[in-house]
Structure 1
Amino acid sequence: MATAPIEPPRRLVRAIGDAPESPARAWLDSLPDRVAERLAAWELTPERVHEPGGRASLLVLVTQADGTPAALKFPLPGRPGAEVEAAALARWDGWGAARLLRADPDSGALLLERLRGGVSLRSLPEAKALLEAAGTVRRLWVPPTDGHPFETLAARTETAVHLLRERAAAVPSAAPLIDEAVELRRTLPTDAPEEVLLHGAFRQGKVLAGHRTPWLAVGPRPVLGERAYDLVGLVLDRMEDLAAGTGAAAAARRRVGKLADSLEVDRDRLRAWTLVGAVEAGLRAVSADDRARGELLLEFGTWL
């Protein structure tokens, strides 16, 4: 019996928009056919589309021919890291991250081990979540193999600086902070103490409960660089809770210190990368018309 066509979740549809000529829209429109082709080729039985899902991928929960549950993922082409996600997952081979079962380079499809998608580290109290996050991300920091396809943080410098400058005009009051972020983004990669494989988008919401091990990372945007870069998302996690309390600036600096010390990362470099990350995320939020969040992120940058 033929299965009904897969319908992309509304969050993904809204994120891509309806511009008929865009490559992203063309990819979205082709998804039902792409999914049907992979289901047949890999002998998968679809259960349901994961909702609400992400803004840059489609995830279909499936059952393999032997009855083992899995997840079929289609990353949005052109998203940073999409082309090398399979290579990173293969390098980790289930150590700290969801295991890659199969990959199809033509369609970009990834068949992944099934995790408990509704349970992330954000479901834990903050102290416990940070402890588990630190233990998980530490496993991902491995040297790249010969002939690897991964870009470096240094290679992304000019693009990152251009975006900072391009978006700065929307928040003229933050000009000194943005200038500091630009200078740090230029200089930090030039004297990095190491170059290891990074998750690239690590935060509490990217670590899900597993079955063979308690917690596993998902959704990497792999890049080569220093470990401090991978901790920025953890410093910024639950920043609203910090902002709502007293002594927010001191609490933010304490978080930097605790994370740096627990993972043997230089405090000053983590502080610097976090300032860059807060400014980048703040300007991105402002450009997406989420000014309240954007201004909070920029304020977080001043606390550092």
Structure 2
Amino acid sequence: MSEPARFPVPDVVSRRAISEGEAGLAWLANLDDTLSSLEQDWGLTIGPALPGGTAAFVAEATTETGEIVILKLGTPGTLAGRHEAEVLRRADGRGYVKLLRHDPDRHAMLLERLGERLDTLELPYERQVDIMCATLLQAWMPVPADLPCPTGADKANSLAQAILSLSYDAGQPCAQAVIDMALMYCQDRAAAYRPENAVLAHGDPHPANTLALLDSEPPQFRFIDPDGLAIEPAYDLGVLLRAWHEGIAGPHAHDIARSHVRHLTRRTQVPSEAIWQWGYIERVSTGLHLLQIGQIEEGRIYLDVAEAITSTMG
């Protein structure tokens, strides 16, 4: 009978690794040895996995000097196409969690410890949006010439393919006008991509990826888990917009949704129409994705709001 693992892996992370095939299975099988070697090489004492992660082993660790830090090891499949460590290294704490050490061969990062997640603070979503806008204004930076990130055109085209595939698999889950509008906007954003207008964007700046900086007064926040995209700033703001459902119903649904976009523009000075289009695309693609993974009720909220917007556009 084999001994139990020293570092048990949360079920959701284990399932994610298994779904990645041979590479994920090997990562899972070697995880105890990898963590033990990191303890020795980096002078750490690693604690149990923290809750909340879905695609990485994340745990608190204590350094030889008694400092508490965060150790993160992503599964191999989740690292494909992402530039998390590079974004964090270049940001050096500006708008992002600070990267302390990185070992690409072991997919390991040592990060500063942050505080509570924004989504746990029971703030109105508009207040959460304001916090994330302020943090994005710190985080956006020029795209490094030596960092081959996916571009805005790549993102628009991949979202169009996902919307087509997911809507077909779901069997007409919403009005065809919603799908047609999202695909038209994907085409518009792909055509609008210009390298000179791009920033190194987060790619998924939602409240669960926004954490409070410890001992900051007034409170400040930092992002975790960046994808790293070479894309217009409006894309990140579209991600904020996709979940801003408040009040979007009835005969004025479109006008209310547009008022949310104007709020984002006032906070960031980013042009409204690009935010609007990315937000619509993200709302539809996210709703379809949630249906695919079995989160039916939440997915329907996204798609019902998109239908309400589309049907009241006039």
The SS at the match of 1:94 is coil
Equivalent position amino acid for 1:75 in 2: G
2:118 corresponds to: 120
Q: How does 1:138-217 map to 2 (within 5 A)?
A: 138-169=137-168, 170-172=170-172, 173-192=174-193, 194-211=197-214, 213=216, 214-217=220-223
Question: CA shift at 1:142, angstroms?
Answer: 0.7
Question: Counterpart of 1:42?
Answer: 42
Give the conservation status (yes or no) of the 8 Å contact 1:61–1:70.
Answer: yes
Counterparts of 2:20 and 2:151, CA distance in 1: 33
Q: Is residue 58–residue 75 contact of structure 1 (8 Å, CA) maintained in 2?
A: yes
Conserved 8 A contact 2:82-2:227 = no
Task: Evaluate the alpha carbon distance shift between residue 76 and residue 246 of structure 1 in structure 2; reply closer, same or farther with a 3 A threshold.
Answer: farther
Question: What is the aligned-residue identity percentage?
Answer: 27
RMSD: 2.6
Cα deviation 1:184-243 (Å, max 9, x = unaligned): 21221322361110000001221101126421111111111001100122213353x546
| Residue 293 to residue 171, structure 1, CA distance change in 2 (3 Å) | farther
1:90 corresponds to which residue?
Answer: 89
Could you report, residue by residue, the CA deviation over 1:243-268 in whole angstroms, capped at 9, with x for unpaired residues? 69996554333212101221111111
What residue in structure 1 maps to residue 74 of structure 2?
75
- TM-aligned CA distance change 1:144 to 1:20, over 3 Å: closer
Q: How many aligned residue pairs are there? A: 298
Unmatched 5+ residue regions in structure 2? none
Shift in Å, 1:26? 3.5
**How far apart are residue 149 of structure 1 and its match?**
3.2
Report the residue type matching 2:241 in the other structure. Answer: V
Partner of 1:9: 10
Contact 2:96–2:139 under 8 Å retained in 1: yes
**TM-score, reference length from structure 2:** 0.85
Alignment of structure 1 residues 179-258 onto 2, 5 Å: 179-192=180-193, 194-211=197-214, 213=216, 214-237=220-243, 239=245, 241-242=246-247, 249-258=254-263
Amino acid at match of 2:37: E
How far apart are 1:17 and its partner, in Å?
A: 7.2
Which stretch has the larger CA shift, 188-197 or 199-208?
188-197
Alignment check: 8 A CA contact 1:83 1:108 kept: no
Cα pair 2:152 2:193 within 8 Å, conserved:
no
Q: Which amino acid is 1:187 matched to?
A: D
Q: Aligned with 1:60: secondary structure?
A: strand
Shift of 1:95: 0.5
The 1:212/1:250 distance shift into structure 2, 3 A limit, reads: same
Q: Provide the residue aligned with 2:31 in structure 1.
A: 31
